[in-house]
Chain A
Amino acid sequence: MSGNMNLTLKVWRQKNKDSKGLLETYNVKNISPDMSFLEMFDVLNEELITKGEEPIAFDHDCREGICGMCSMYINGRPHGPKRGVTTCQLHMRSFKDGDTIVVEPWRATAFPVIKDLSVDRSAFDRIIASGGFVSVNTGNARDANNIPIPKDDADTAFDAAACIGCGACVAACKNASAMLFVSAKVSQLALLPQGQPERYMRVQSMVGQMDEEGFGNCTNTGACEAECPKGISLSNIARMNRDYIAAGLGSE
């Protein structure tokens, strides 16, 4: 078909957590510009399987930009060259025939490689878990608008809640810092009335867990915000810092 492309891929292959990996070169042919980046990997894996080789392990689930699994560091940027998209939503039309594309896993101490492009992001789960509970009444569902929330606050909380936990912020950050992710999780509750009772406790435990996981220290480069597929804003980090300072100064 016309318009289809031939590409050279350099893909990180790594047997397991402890082995040393390396970039392997593959040539893929006749790739349609309408394919997603992951579909292109499916094609390559089919070929590898047919040849009796080990397919490339990579994470994916929804393939519609909402689960945050498809972690690929493409040509030096998480989720590739486009802003505001995940790898599954990146299409091959963003590349040209003959391009060489380097694909690496997220790299961070806190995200150890499991195999090839697949990394262990359970550090994020532990950070969320450390945030603990939110005291809400159980029982019957409440009526809508029972708790008045200013529209702006609801919107800002919603924007923060759009974080899909993909880890692109960590991958993009030169310090492998998780501040954008953690601040989104802190903010989505800190902005709402339901989040107030545990607000300061929560920020302290989540930051504590973040530090324990071995993420780096934020230097406000802003790379996370630029690469976040969900447009999570740096103002969340400032909010988290404010809450953290308030918690430290105010708590006993």
Chain B
Amino acid sequence: MSSFTKMFSSSIGNKILVALTGLFLCSFLIIHVSGNLQLFYHDNGMAFNTYTVFMTTNPLIKTVSYILYVSILFHAFKGLHLAYKNKKARPVSYAVTNASANSHWTSRNMGVLGTILLVFIVVHMSDFWYEYKFGHLPFVKYEKNLTTGEITSSPFQGQISGKQEQYVVEAENKEVTIVKDLYAEVQEEFKNPLMVALYVIAMAAVSFHLFHGFKSGFQTLGLNHKKYNGIIRFLALYVFAIIIPVTFAAMPVYFFLK
């Protein structure tokens, strides 16, 4: 066996892969949440819809997103596989345990939290990603008056050529943009209180999963140093356990109340 194969098939090697994919997913969330802030613009979704076109057509981003899908699957299934092996490492369980005396509950429930997230990701991707790529989303037409800067939007019924998702024409002092209306889909989705509840619960799971996971990833990679542990803990709590999940959860709530 080559030293790489040996390393990555060992317990530590497996954990390194889970840590690397996990931290990669963390970095993705920063991009995802920042981009989605455009949902809060009062522009009938123009910024969000054109951003979506960019994110789904730019070759670099497309490449990264395929790496992302593989990472999600790997992280989830490797995590579950390790959880299964860990169960086997203690076949007879204790009659009494007092685990809260020695560890934080998030750290002991990564498998459960992760499973909630996996279910959520499946629902989330089939509602938006699949719909966008393969479903029949309506198109919307934005018209920008180049002198006043005023933007109006209207549903677009006609056909646009080929598979093109964004279509810009300039005509008589007007800039016309025709795009798939994912924004409308978002609005529609979050009229359903069950969906809003699912998203809010999933974001709580994100919070708890990342509160432990972000720190844990660094420890697994051997990055444990007095000087930097403070900042890692700070980021885990404030950025990954609070700011990101709360901002995400605000989106369905916003559309529900809108």
A residues apposed to B, CB below 8 Å: 10, 12, 21, 23, 73, 75-77, 81, 102, 104, 107-110, 172, 174-177, 204, 207-208, 210-211, 214-223, 226-227, 234-235, 237-245, 247-249, 251-252
B50 within 8 A of A: no
How far, in Å, is B91 (CB) from chain A's closest CB? 6
Q: Which residue of A lies closest to B229 (CB)?
A: A235
B221 within 8 A of A: yes
Which of these, A177, A223, A240, contacts B89 with CB under 8 Å? Answer: A177
Q: Are B11 and A211 in contact (CB under 8 A)?
A: yes
How far, in Å, is A90 (CB) from chain B's closest CB? 14
Taken together as a complex, chains A and B put the C-alpha atoms of A146 and B184 apart, in Å, by: 76
Given A102-B96, A176-B86, A245-B16, are A227 and B102 neighbors across the interface (CB < 8 Å)? yes
Q: Are B219 and A234 in contact (CB under 8 A)?
A: yes
Number of A-B contacts (CB under 8 A): 145
Task: Tell me which of B1-9, B140-148, B157-165, B240-248 binds A.
Answer: B1-9
Q: Are A76 and B94 in contact (CB under 8 A)?
A: yes
Q: Which residue of A lies closest to B106 (CB)?
A: A221
**Which A residues lie within 8 Å of B7 (CB)?**
244-245, 247-249
B97 within 8 A of A: yes
Q: Are A216 and B103 in contact (CB under 8 A)?
A: no
**Which B residues lie within 8 Å of A21 (CB)?**
92
B15 within 8 A of A: yes
Q: Count B interface residues, CB 8 Å.
A: 43
B residues apposed to A, CB below 8 Å: 3-4, 6-8, 10-16, 82, 85-86, 88-99, 101-104, 107-108, 110, 212, 215-216, 219-224
How far, in Å, is A15 (CB) from chain B's closest CB? 15
Q: Are B102 and A220 in contact (CB under 8 A)?
A: no
**Which B residues lie within 8 Å of A218 (CB)?**
11, 15, 220
Q: Are B93 and A217 in contact (CB under 8 A)?
A: no
How far, in Å, is A248 (CB) from chain B's closest CB? 3
**Which B residues lie within 8 Å of A227 (CB)?**
102
Q: Which residue of A lies closest to B110 (CB)?
A: A219
Taken together as a complex, chains A and B put the C-alpha atoms of A242 and B218 apart, in Å, by: 11
Q: Are B95 and A226 in contact (CB under 8 A)?
A: no
Which of these, B14, B99, B221, B223, contacts A217 with CB under 8 Å? Answer: B14
How far, in Å, is B23 (CB) from chain A's closest CB? 13
A-B contact pairs, 27 of them (CB 8 A): A23-B95, A75-B98, A104-B95, A104-B96, A109-B89, A174-B99, A176-B86, A207-B12, A208-B10, A211-B11, A217-B86, A219-B82, A220-B212, A220-B215, A220-B216, A220-B220, A221-B107, A222-B107, A223-B99, A226-B101, A226-B102, A237-B219, A241-B16, A241-B219, A248-B3, A249-B7, A252-B3
Q: Which residue of A lies closest to B7 (CB)?
A: A248
Taken together as a complex, chains A and B put the C-alpha atoms of A69 and B97 apart, in Å, by: 21
Which of these, B10, B97, B216, B220, contacts A207 with CB under 8 Å? Answer: B10
Q: Are B107 and A107 in contact (CB under 8 A)?
A: no
